Copies of this chain bind each other. A is one copy, B any other.
Amino acid sequence: MPIDIVLDAMGSDKAPDPEIRGAILAARTLDVRVHLVGPEEILRPKLREALRGYRRQDRPPVFLVQASEWITMEDKAAQAVRSKRDSSMRVGLKMVREGRAAGFVTAGNTGAAMATAKMVLGSLAGVDRPALATVFPTSTGSPTLVLDVGANSDCDPENLVQFAYMGDRYARDVLRIANPRLGLLSIGEEDSKGNALTKDTLPLLRETKLNFIGNVEGRDLFNGRVDVVVCDGFVGNVALKTAEGLAKLVNTSLRESLKSTVTSQVGALLSQKAFAAFKKSLDYTEYGGAPLLGLRGAAIVGHGSSNDRAIMNGIRVAAEFAGANVGASIEAALANR
């Protein structure tokens, strides 16, 4: 039985082309039906073109849903949600609320996606502030889930405890980690290290039934020591963007170093395959985007620079997210604290 996933066709930097190709890729290779939301006059000719050559009976299940507007990366979240009442995000999320689809994917404006999802889907019982989570690649191959990475600044200890339950359930139900090790992002492992927020949160997390291992540091995001890391959204967003900035510098610097000598140019050719593997190991798109946790519905936000493959991975993760019934399991966990 295929799962219905709504895809915002107008989200990514190069929308709608990566979305159309990613939707077809997903519909061909996964057990999903994809509903592309956006202006039909733009989407229909492109979709028809992309599906040319398929026989009618082999056509991958990709459908169009009309929305006359879309939210750009430059739009302010709160304002866009109010003023663009027929945006592709809003129309898509309504389909999830009405049960016409099980999950939602966008590669668009993260703040607007969170604001729209909060308004359209609403929060789960027991959740004060839904969170944006993301997975960091690690040296062990098993990703580390970090939340919040930007939806909520100035959190209080209760918010962080709720994030812990939300992350724990997502790690179990979607990432398939048996007994997720939970850490609190701080600036030293000792209990005495940290700021007022982490010092107040630490004893509360110790009291939970979660597999809490204590404070962890920025470097532990990449070494596989911990499966789920909770932090204030300001701190998590700084960590995420610092990592993105360094990854970009590494790419540029490596390319330039390799160009700089003739022997290393030959070396570069021979190392190409290795670099592809290396880049893939650090590639967020392989992990399928950032889940919005704590909402009444499964929603995934991909990177604005998403390509076809990243879009497909987003759809795959949204289907797993929706199929695992994470929302119900988060509500149950929060009710039985």
Please name all residues of chain B whose beta carbon is closer than 8 Å to the beta carbon of A243 when the two chains form the complex. Answer: 218, 242-243, 246
Contact B249 A246 (CB under 8 A): no
Q: A153-B194, A249-B139, A254-B278 are in contact. Are A270 and B273 (CB under 8 A)?
A: no
A218 CA / B275 CA spacing, docked (Å): 25
Number of copies: 2
In A41-55, the 8 Å CB interface with B consists of none
Interface pair B245/A218, CB less than 8 Å apart: yes
Complexed CA–CA distance, A76 and B192 (Å): 10
Dominant SS among interface residues on chain A: helix
Q: Give the interface segment out of A158-166, A232-240, A309-317.
A: A232-240
Q: A264–B260 Cα gap in the complex (Å)?
A: 18
Interface residues on A, range: 35 or more
Inter-subunit contact A250/B248 (CB<8 Å): no
Closest B residue by C-beta to A233 = B187
Name the residue on B nearest A264 (C-beta): B274
Q: Is A247 an interface residue (CB 8 A)?
A: yes
Chain B binder among A19-27, A220-228, A297-305 = A220-228
- A267, B269: Cα distance in complex, Å: 7
Q: Is A156 an interface residue (CB 8 A)?
A: no
With an 8 A cutoff between CB atoms, is A208 at the interface?
A: no
Query: Apart from A235-B238, A264-B273, what 18 extra A-B contacts exist at CB < 8 Å?
Result: A139-B249, A153-B194, A153-B196, A186-B234, A195-B232, A217-B245, A218-B237, A218-B241, A219-B244, A221-B246, A223-B245, A238-B238, A242-B242, A246-B246, A254-B274, A257-B277, A264-B271, A267-B274
The answer to whether A234 touches B194, judged by C-beta atoms less than 8 angstroms apart, is yes
Q: Judge if A137 is at the interface, Cβ distance under 8 Å.
A: yes
Contact with B along A116-160 (1 / 0, CB 8 A): 000000000000000000000111000000000010011000000
Which residue in B190, B220, B270 is a CB contact (below 8 Å) of A270?
B270
Whether B253 contacts A239 by the Cβ 8 Å rule is: no
Would you call B150 and A187 a contact (CB within 8 A)? yes
Give Cα A274 to B266, complex, Å: 11
Q: A282 on the interface (CB 8 Å rule)?
A: yes
Asked if A324 is an interface residue, CB under 8 A from chain B, the answer is no
B268 touches A271 (CB 8 A): yes
Is A57 on the interface with B (CB-CB < 8 A)?
Answer: no
